[in-house]
Amino acid sequence: MPIIIRQDVFHPTLIESSSLVLSDEQRRVVREILEVACSDSAFAEKAYESIYYALTQTPTIPPVVTSLEPASAVIGSEPFDIHVKGTGFTPDSAIVFGGQVESTTFVSETELTTGVNMPLWTGPDIVPVAVRNQDNVQSDPMSFEFTNPAARSSKSVKSVKSDTDGLKPVNDPPTFDSSKKESK
């Protein structure tokens, strides 16, 4: 991407690098704009320093969470480790589970783990899980779900036929193969 510099000082300047290096001329123009726009020279100086800092700092790229393993747990299960996978993790990154910064183990630049204390969860819930780097830049969250044991088991229960009064189960009659005869 080429460098684009316009005469209008309020127009964005685009460059290839991740941080902007200002020339002395550019600094002078920013300072002049602030002196005209700010009635107080002390305020103009603070505004200049803030703008200079913002323009010359390398942008912080937030970590990205791509998956949670596991992504759900049944209430009442044993405590377990959750593996948060993604990109941009550092040894100082921390897992933020349900809004709480957790004790985190750095596995690699693409994986972090923490323990989930199941006795703390007593009912179904969907909890955001994110990763926060040392500079407090946080990823977008992914959802972790705590499910009710009854809801989980009801999905695996097979339907049962019942007799006409609906009170007791009725088994299907056994099938009989008439081509086979019992020998005595």
Per-residue pLDDT tens for 49-73?
A: 777 777 777 667 889 999 999 999 9
Instruction: Kindly state the average pLDDT of the residues 39-56.
Output: 76
Range of the domain at 6: 1-59
69 & 129 share domain: yes
83 & 139 share domain: yes
Please tell me the distance from the alpha carbon of residue 12 to that of residue 20, in angstroms, as a whole number.
Answer: 12
27 & 41 share domain: yes
Point out the domain boundary residue: 59, 88, 105: 59
Report the C-alpha dihedral over residues 25, 26, 28, 33, rounded to 10 degrees: 140
10 & 84 share domain: no
Looking at the structure of the chain, the number of domains it has is 2
14 & 85 share domain: no
Tokens of 156: 């695996």
| 88 or 19, higher pLDDT | 88
34 & 90 share domain: no
Per-residue pLDDT tens for 136-177?
A: 889 999 999 999 887 544 444 333 333 444 444 444 444 444
131 & 49 share domain: no
105 & 44 share domain: no
75 & 105 share domain: yes
5 & 53 share domain: yes
Cα diameter, the chain: 115
50 & 89 share domain: no
